[in-house]
């Protein structure tokens, strides 16, 4: 079966369409610090509004543990959505309660409303399928049709992602369709040379991706906290740097497999080592095999790839036709350790081909460092969902929409 798209739902004029978006934006003191996910939701909502649908947006935000928590209210996201749409967006202070019923019943053709955080209801994420089904049935009371457009949650079997889509005519929104088109190119039809850049803190988070993509790529570049497990696998000491000792043998296996396949695994030749974790920490650049030979000795903490490595990574990235990047190269939130991530991001903007930023921390990093979404071929909203897709896993939120 092929993915069901909005066109499969027929005319939506005058119909109530529940749209499962991903408005899980970062907040600081109630203010959105990165509105990328809200902006990504706009095209689908706009397309439905232009059809004359009565749009009911649902989403989660954070992990409020199944009870209402003001810190995780979707009100700021609803306000920002209204600004981006250039129209008033109604907001319900509950999800399936009296206020939600009032707000939805007041909608007229082309109106948009946002319901409060789905995860204020424990049934949304319940392990008990019957509890999820009951909550989905309540949500379905507001819907003549359902459009699933929160790609960041399609790897979860949750009420609004899986069960709800079974209760009403359902289809994928424009965002999910676009994400799948890009991810399909990364796994099935990449233009070569094809480079994958992986960073972030833990190699264990990326093992599935490495295993699935190794036979498909030409180069694999390793940075971030996970690089130290690779260095340890080569026999190097890494001081107090992040290390997953239980993954060393697995990493050695991947290094051997890459050699057998002729894949170039590019590891850092230099790193930025700090005395401690902090923006004011004393730090030096040292060779990747000499981390404990700095003035900090075995207490030294690697917090970024070094300039030589960053330049080498940039060279490989610019020379590739397809590049997928997931995970910062260092602790980019701290200015002294942001250079590696900045260099990699800049190189991706210069790719003559498809450059994909793989969501999550990587997307936050490029925006925090001053880059715009338009400078890249695609910025995924997926995070964990993108990684699981690239691992070759079946994702329940896609299967229920016909993607097999």
C-alpha separations of 246 from 232, 234, 252, 378 in Å: 11, 14, 11, 34
Q: Which listed residue (39, 87, 185, 202) is catalytic?
A: 202
- The H-or-E segment that residue 146 falls in is strand 145-148
CB 121 within 8 A of CB 97: no
Catalytic residue at 340? no
- C-alpha to C-alpha distance for 109 and 189, rounded to whole angstroms: 41
Residue 156 annotated as binding?
Answer: yes
The partner residues of 100 in beta bridges, in order of sequence, read none
For the question of residue 28 being annotated catalytic, the response is: no
- Would the annotation count 20 as a binding residue? no
**63 carries a ligand binding annotation:** yes
Residue 190 burial by CB count (10 A; 0-12/13-18/19+): exposed, middle or buried?
buried
62 assigned to a ligand binding site: yes
278 is a catalytic site residue: no
Burial class (CB in 10 A: 0-12, 13-18, 19+), 303: buried
Count, in order, helices (H) and strands (E) of the chain: 14, 17
> 312 a known binding residue?
no
Report residue 11 as tokens.
Answer: 């005319």
**Of the candidates 62, 56, 59, 42, which has an alpha carbon nearest to the alpha carbon of residue 90?**
56
* 99's tokens: 């206020």
Among 150, 223, 360, 397, the one annotated catalytic: 360
d(CA 338, CA 178): 30
Helix (H) or strand (E) holding 197: strand 194-198
Classify the phi-psi angles of 86: left when phi > 0, otherwise alpha if psi is within -120 to 50, otherwise beta.
left
Please check whether residue 48 is in contact with residue 13, taking contact to mean a CB–CB distance below 8 angstroms. no
Q: How far apart are CA 347 and CA 335, in angstroms?
A: 19
Look at phi and psi of residue 402 and say left if phi exceeds 0, alpha if psi is from -120 to 50, else beta: left
Beta strands 145-148 and 16-20, pairing class? parallel
Phi-psi sector, 110: left (phi>0), alpha (psi -120 to 50), beta = left
Asked if 225 contacts 202 with a C-beta cutoff of 8 angstroms, the reply is yes
Q: 278 among the known binding-site residues?
A: no
3 state SS of 160: helix
* C-alpha–C-alpha distance, residues 330 and 289, integer Å: 18
24 is in an annotated binding site: yes
Q: Is 127 a catalytic residue?
A: no
Residue 37 is labelled as binding a ligand:
yes
Find the catalytic residue in 16, 37, 80, 342.
37
List the binding residues: 22-24, 37, 60-63, 119, 156, 206, 302, 333, 359-362
List the binding residues for (2R)-3-phosphoglycerate: 37, 119, 156
List the binding residues for substrate: 22-24, 37, 60-63, 119, 156
For the annotated catalytic residues, the residue numbers are 37, 202, 360, 384
List the binding residues for ATP: 206, 302, 333, 359-362
């Amino acid at each position: 079966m092929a993915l069901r798209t909005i066109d499969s739902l027929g005319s939506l004029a005058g119909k109530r369409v529940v749209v499962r978006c991903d408005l899980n934006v970062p907040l600081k003191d109630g203010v959105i610090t990165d509105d990328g996910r809200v902006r990504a939701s706009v095209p689908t909502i706009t397309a439905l509004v232009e059809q004359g649908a009565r749009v009911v947006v649902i989403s989660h935000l954070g992990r409020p543990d199944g009870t209402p928590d003001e810190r995780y209210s979707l009100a700021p996201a609803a306000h920002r959505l209204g600004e981006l749409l250039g129209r008033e967006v109604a907001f319900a202070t509950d999800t399936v309660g009296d206020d939600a019923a009032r707000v939805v019943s007041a909608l007229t053709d082309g109106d948009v409303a946002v319901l409060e955080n789905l995860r204020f209801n424990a049934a949304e994420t319940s392990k008990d399928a019957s509890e999820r089904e009951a909550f989905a049935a309540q949500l379905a009371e507001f819907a003549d049709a359902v459009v699933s457009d929160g790609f960041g949650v399609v790897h979860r079997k949750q009420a609004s992602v899986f069960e709800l889509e079974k209760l009403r005519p359902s289809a994928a929104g424009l965002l999910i369709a676009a994400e799948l088109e890009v991810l399909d190119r990364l796994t099935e039809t990449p233009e070569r040379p094809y480079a994958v850049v992986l960073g972030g803190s833990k190699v264990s988070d990326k093992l599935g991706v490495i295993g699935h993509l190794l036979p498909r790529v030409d180069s694999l570049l390793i940075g971030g906290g996970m690089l130290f497990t690779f260095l340890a696998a080569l026999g190097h000491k890494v001081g107090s740097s992040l290390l997953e000792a239980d993954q060393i043998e697995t990493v050695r296996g991947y290094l051997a497999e890459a050699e057998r396949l002729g894949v170039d695994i590019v590891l850092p030749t230099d790193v930025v080592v700090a005395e401690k974790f902090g923006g004011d920490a004393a730090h030096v650049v040292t060779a990747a095999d000499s981390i404990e030979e700095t003035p900090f000795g075995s207490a030294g903490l690697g917090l970024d790839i070094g300039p030589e490595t960053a330049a080498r990574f940039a060279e490989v990235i610019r020379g590739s036709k397809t590049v997928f990047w997931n995970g910062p190269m260092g602790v980019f939130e701290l200015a002294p350790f942001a250079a590696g991530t900045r260099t990699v991001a800049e190189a991706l903007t210069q790719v003559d081909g498809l450059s994909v930023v793989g969501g999550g921390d990587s997307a936050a990093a490029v925006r925090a460092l001053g880059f715009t979404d338009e400078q890249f071929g695609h910025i995924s909203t997926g995070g964990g969902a993108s990684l699981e897709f690239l691992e070759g896993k079946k994702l329940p939120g896609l299967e229920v929409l016909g993607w097999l």
